[in-house]
Copies of this chain bind each other. A is one copy, B any other.
Amino acid sequence: MTDATSAPVAETDPHADQLRLLEALLFASAAPLDEASIAQRLPEGSDVAALVAELGEHYRGRGVNLVRIAGGWTLRTAPDLGPRLKLEQSVTRKLSRAAIETLAIVAYHQPVTRGEIEEIRGVVVSSGTLDVLMEAGWIAPKGRRETPGRPVTWVTTDQFLAHFGLADRRDLPGIDELRAAGLVGPRPEFVLSEQALPGEATADDEDEDEEDEPLYDEEGPAER
């Protein structure tokens, strides 16, 4: 292995020396170097073009190539390797609440347009939300609704089924099953409060089952 202070091998050979210097120059320079700038830094009388050609030959087919860019020479990683220099790293993320709900609505109501999702959720669906779900591979656009504006409709994918361990999207439990499982609470009730009138005793049991009583029996209700 070389170490930082390894002695130059080619000290005595002027040609090899120039080649080393050229290599170091091109490596360390932040911008491509044109031949004039190179010539300035090489020993007097160096044949810059020949040196560049020789160095280019040396790097041919390697992981790094000598290329001509913007009128100058520079070393660049080989273009075919570009994609392989990236490191794909998986990160586990939590899906936002909005995204989970949107996914659920697509699952239950598919095919569904964005407008319909918004109507069901009662809030605007941000485009990022659908993007995230699409990026996760769980929803996909499928056709358009033949209504004004021809909106895209969304469906869930096979990947969605696979992720959630479902054989078919009809396997999703219905709303009543969800209710039975406690995943949907009981329907809330709204009753007009009898307490609305102060000072009035409330009649507590409501059977409001009459008013069309047919009969009038003689004695009136007791006055108060």
Interface residues of A (CB under 8 A from B): 1-10, 19-25, 27-29, 40-41, 52-53, 56-57, 59-69, 75-81, 84-87, 165
Partner of A27, one of B20, B53, B64: B64
Q: Is the CB of B20 within 8 A of A66?
A: no
Q: Is the CB of B25 within 8 A of A62?
A: no
User: Inside 8 A of A20's CB, which chain B residues have their CB?
Assistant: 61-63, 78, 81
Smallest CB separation, A68 vs chain B (Å): 7
Q: Known contacts A2-B67, A20-B78, A24-B77; can you find 4 more A-B pairs with CB under 8 A?
A: A1-B53, A4-B76, A7-B80, A41-B87
Smallest CB separation, A19 vs chain B (Å): 7
Smallest CB separation, A31 vs chain B (Å): 11
Q: How far is the CA of A4 from the CA of B60 in the complex (A)?
A: 10
Q: Is the CB of A21 within 8 A of B80?
A: no
Q: Is the CB of B63 within 8 A of A22?
A: yes
Question: What are 18 A-B interface contacts by the 8 Å CB criterion?
Answer: A1-B53, A1-B56, A2-B60, A3-B67, A5-B79, A6-B60, A20-B61, A20-B81, A21-B84, A23-B62, A23-B63, A25-B85, A25-B87, A27-B63, A27-B64, A27-B75, A29-B87, A40-B86
Partner of A2, one of B9, B27, B57: B57
Smallest CB separation, A154 vs chain B (Å): 25
User: Inside 8 A of A62's CB, which chain B residues have their CB?
Assistant: 20, 23
Q: How far is the CA of A64 from the CA of B4 in the complex (A)?
A: 10
